[in-house]
Structures are given as structure tokens and as C-alpha cells.
Structure 1
Amino acid sequence: MAKEQLPSIDRFLQAITDAVVVTDAGGRVLHLNPAAHALTGWSVDEAIGQRAATVVTTLSAPQHSANCAAPLEAVLASGHASEHSDILLTERGGRQRRINETIYPITDAHDRVAGAAIIFRDITDVYRLREERRIAAMAFEIGAPLLVATAADLRVLRVNAACLELSQRSEQELVGASLDVLYGDAEKAPFLKFFRSPGPPDTITGRTTRRNQAGILLQLSETARKIRDESGTVSHFVVGLYDLTEAVAAAEALRESQLNYNHLIESMQEGVAIIHGDHIIECNGHFAHMLGRPRDEIIGKTAADVSGPWQPDGRASAAKSVEITTAVRRDRHAWVDWQVARPDGSVSQFEASITPSTLKGAAILLITTRDITARKRAEAEYQDLMAELAAREKMLRLANRAYGIACWELNPATLQMSWSEGAEDILGFNPAPLPAATTACGR
């Protein structure tokens, strides 16, 4: 079929607004109207004789794979029309458009397929509007502050109510605003670079500060995402704004509180340690000094790890630690004596007050300790001295008894004087206590 055989439809093809490309039975272009020329970038003279797939280069939008040639060949082979919606047309210059396409068979007088008419319509603007509405609807459904901007002109298309509330600005003030202005300062330069770059990455997150309409400085975390169409082209940006103002203020207050807390426990003259679970998570310098270890060798260890395997009462440190922890949680407090074998071989003993408490919502044991090493040493020396005195006294009494000596003894606690032990054997009678007057004289 030649072009001269189509005078009856030529004027019709020129007049209609839809793009039309007519092919012969072999799929080569016989004619295209002005609308097809505008969409494909091919003139009539250049297109005639070319394969239709060369002039009308299409891809199935969702898969980016199916070429126009296959549907056209199917129509030419079967004689049945086919429709294809929302596909991508690549014009001669490389620009892509969205089209709806229908391919109709053309038959001759004998009802044989003599060619095909490819009719397509540009729906790019319709698709863009649909996408904008979809993205805008998404923004309004999400409770977090969001704004949607178009990639073509970098202007805000839509904002949701949460964004308006956060900024304390009206919709008229924000819609249409340029991203160049909203992200124009040095702090937000990485975002502006992101908006202007068509390639990856598709997401960027950063901390920013902005003042709302009332002049209050907001601490924000902003996340911007590129929305791409099926061709991979960036069509929109969606920016989420997350208000960190209260969290930052709380963190600063907590940090200051922590500094004050650390200063407090460091200033205490007693050793202080905090146990979470079974492990020491904090201690002050005095506690570290008692243990004879640097602080970083204590944090993260158990009480048994830093104490040595055994306690003076013969119990294993690990087992005794478990017993004490159980008792503290049951009775809400405990006083214990504890011994530590230091790395230098010396031994430290301290008295500990253990109280259950909470820290940042977690159950802990707060331990305050007092070094009693010197006291324990003095007590041991006193016991040794008393034992030595008792032994000497016993020897003296034995000597007196052997030589037949009876004597009076003064009880320093009661200031009462009495005969020494064994006096009855030496004197031959039961001696009575000294008269009260004698006792008074002794006072």
C-alpha cells in the first residue's frame, strides 16, 4: 500500500490532535501526522520507510523492557487491535514522554491486513498531576511534618498540617517557596547540592536549625528523598522534618545532670560504685584507690573479678556476692565487710553499704564503701595483745601457786578487788571479798 492510495484519510490525519503513524504490512512507516512529528521528533520525509519501532520508540513503563515492535508485529500478524496505557515514548532527541497507545490493523478490500495505525496521546502532564496528588496525599496522611517539592523548578508543591504547625507559617507562605531560599545558607548546602544532582544518592539526612514564625530556634533532623518515575528521572522531592528541640534540650540537661552527678560522686570521701546486673558500671576515684586498680580495669568487671577468689570467712567471693545481692534485693539494704586482694599483693578490707536504686530506668545497686583496713589491722593487733596478756597472766598465776603466794587482784572494769585464783588452796580457807571500804579506797 502506497501513500498515494490514502488521499481519503490524509486530510483526516492532518487534522486530528492525537499522534498517528501509519505503517505497511511490513511495519514500515508510510505516514505520520503533525502531532506524531511533534512527539517523536521525526519529520514526514525522514520517517517514511523507517521501521515503526525506530520512529515510535516505546518502553513499557513498569518493566522498562517491552519494545513497540512486539505489539505492532502481533497486530499485523493477528489483525486484532491492542491497547497500551502509561508507557514511555523516547523522542528522537532523547526526551521521554508518557503516552497511551492503541494499534489498529488496516485491512484492504479483501479483509487482509495491509498495515497498521499507531495512535498515541501525550499524557505526561496528566501523569505528573496524578503523581503530585499521590505524593501530596502521602504527605497529608503522615503525621510527621512533610513538604513536597517538584524537581523541575525546585519549588514547594505541598505541605502538610504538621509542617505548618511546626513552622507556624501559613500554607500560602510555604507553597511555591524556592528550595534555593529554604536551603540557601551554608549549614544546609549539602541538601541543596542533593536537590540539584539527578544521580544517587536518593536519600540524605542531616541536622539543621530553623527559626519558626515566632522566632524560636528549632533543632531539626531533616531527611530528603528523591522520587523517581519509571524512567529513573527525579520528579519530586519529599522532605521530612523531625523536631529535636525538646530532645536536644533534654539531652543537654541530662548531660549537665550527669556532669553534676559525676562531680558529686568524685567529691565524696567514701568509695562509690554502681552495679548493674552483676557488673560494675561506674565508680569514683576513691573506690578505685581502695581496689588498687585504675578505673578502666574495674568498669565492666564483677565484684569477684576485682576481689580475689576467697573472703576471710572462707566463702568464695563469687558465691558470697550472689548471696549479698539476693539479700539486698529482698531487704532493700545491707551492710557487709569485704576483702580485696590487690594486684600488688596487698590486701584491702572495707565496709560497704549496699542499697538498691534505679538509673535511667534500670535497676542498680548503689554501693558506698569505707576503708577499714587499718581498723581491722588494729583489731587483730589488739586480739593478739590480749591473747599475749592472758598467756602471761596464766604463767604468773601458775608461778604464784607454785611458790605459795596469794595476792589480791583489781578488776579494772568493776574496780572490785578480790583474792587471786587459787588463794583458797594457798591460805587453806575460802577468802571473802575485801570490805566495801577497802573497795572504796581502791576507787
Structure 2
Amino acid sequence: DTLGGRHIFEGRAQALDQLIDGKRAIVLFARDVTERVRAEQDRRIAAVAFESRQAMLVSDAETNILRVNQAFLDLLGYTREELIGRKTSTLRSGRHDAAFYAAMWESIRATGKWEGEIWDQRKRGDLLPLWTTITAVRNEQGLVTHYVATMSDISERKLREEEIRHIAFYDHLTALPNRRLLLERLQRALAVARRNNQHGALLFVDVDNFKKINDEHGHHAGDLLLQQIASRLSRVVRESDTVARLGGDEFVIVLEHLNADLALARTEARQIAAKALVSMAKPYDLEGLAYQSSGSIGLTLFNSGDTDMDVLMRQADEAMYQAKHAGKNTIHLHGS
């Protein structure tokens, strides 16, 4: 053509009885089939792409499922007969709320596309994290005729992220929150106390005579003791509370949602601290080694989000040393 592009023609030649310059004349009939050939090529390419290793789903404008590829069936465990004609919403896991889907569809209406993480449900019932792209297909009038979704399984990536998070925020020996996560939880507890006009408490817990077990029975026995103490402390607190390990033989407990009345809050905190001491003082079985231990607890209360965390940590630490000086296996309240 005049733009230098190539065109494809379909032709038919027919010989005539008429002679021109002694040669038999031929008539050639041709029509431009470039667009038809290109459309056929596009359909073949689309068919190959649709049966790629990436899971794909096509629905109509009312989100009724029209087509799914084999990768999709393998991923979610359905047959085509079980999916065709059903609403895409039947694949929802229940993990996302209505606001999530409302925002998703608003993005598709506004931009024609949405991309993000969705948890869907396999046929067998387990949940699967998928990186999903949903694209709206429009006709010449601009009306949506179909939606095309592509999905990739990101389970392994999520697992790696969780492993990295665990390393970053949890103690490797006891699996308790470490100092970094403890400070986040304490900051949250301070904000909750201020918002709800409640008290909270910070407890420093130190294992009495911990050096002795390491010296007499080795570090493995000491590690076993710390693991069992971590388990016991976790069982005496409430679900909203946090038990963390700072390192060595030092543990910290954050108590939330204590009474608005200071005296009652102090009593609640002391009761939980007393349960912790009783639990720590029970006999231990360290892989056949019978062992007896105890702990010393320093306690400080808070009720304002403006309270400095460093000050609180220092107060609880000082109270813990007061408990040790008082003979160990006891509780000391800061300021008392």
C-alpha cells in the first residue's frame, strides 16, 4: 500500500478465448484478505496463549464463567463442567470482606483493570493465595462484554515472606516475639490504653540463678529450660497479652485491657504476675534432668499513650532488680 505495508490477497485466474498480441488473455480476480488472515492468526495466537501454563478464566459481563484453561483447572481442582455457567464469586474464599471486592470492581470500572493478591478456594476447601489480573474487554461502543482473569499461585512466595517475617520478629529459640515485635506491641498497648481509658502493665521477668544450670548442666539444658519457661508464661497470660524474650534469661510481658481504676488494675496485674511465678516454680523435666527454678518479676503500670516506652522499660527493669534484691521468686511494683 502507499504506507509501505504488506497486504495479503486471495486471487483466481481465468483464461479467455481472446488473443492479444498472439497470446491468450487471462483475467485475474483478487480481493484483499489481510484483515481476515490477521484475525485468524490472532485467534490462533490467543488459543495458544489461553492454554499456557498461567491459569486463565473468561467470564461474560455478568461474571458468569464462560471459559477456563487447563492450568486453571489444575490449580483449583475443578472440572470444566463444574465451573462453566457459575458465577466467579463462587470461588471466593471468605477471607476478603465486601469492601475489598467493592474497591476491586470500582478500579475495574474506572481503569478497565485490577491487579493484586486474592485468596481463592480450591474445590477441596483449602485456600490459595493468587496474584490476579482482571481486565475488562469492551466492544466498539465501549460496553463491557467480557472479563479476562489471569492468576499465578504465590503460595511459595507467601511462605518465604512469612519465614522472613518470623526471623525478623521472633526469637529463634523460644518462638516468642523478640525485642522488635515487643516494642510494636507495647506501642499498640499504649495507644489502646489511651483510647479506651484503661490501664496496661509491663512486666520484666528474669530467671533466678540461670547461670547455675549452664555451668552445671551445659547450655543445652539451659536452652531447654528457657523453652519450657516461655511455654509456661504464654499459658498464664490472656489472649490479648504479649510474652516476649529480650535475650538471655530475660522475658517481658505486656498486659493490655486492665481496669480503668488504678488500684484494680494493679491487683489484676499482680494476679497475673503471681500466676507466672507459680508456673515458673513448678518442677522441670529437661530430657530426663529434674530441675527446679524460679523467677523474679518487676512490674510497672501505664495508662497514657504519651508515656515514653524507654521510661517504662527502665521502670520495669529496675523493679525486677528490686525483686531480686528482695530474695528472688517475688514480685516488685515500681514506685512501691
Larger Rg: 1
- With normalisation by structure 2, the TM-score equals 0.39
User: Which of 1 and 2 has higher RCO (CA within 8 Å, sep 6+)?
Assistant: 2
- With normalisation by structure 1, the TM-score equals 0.31
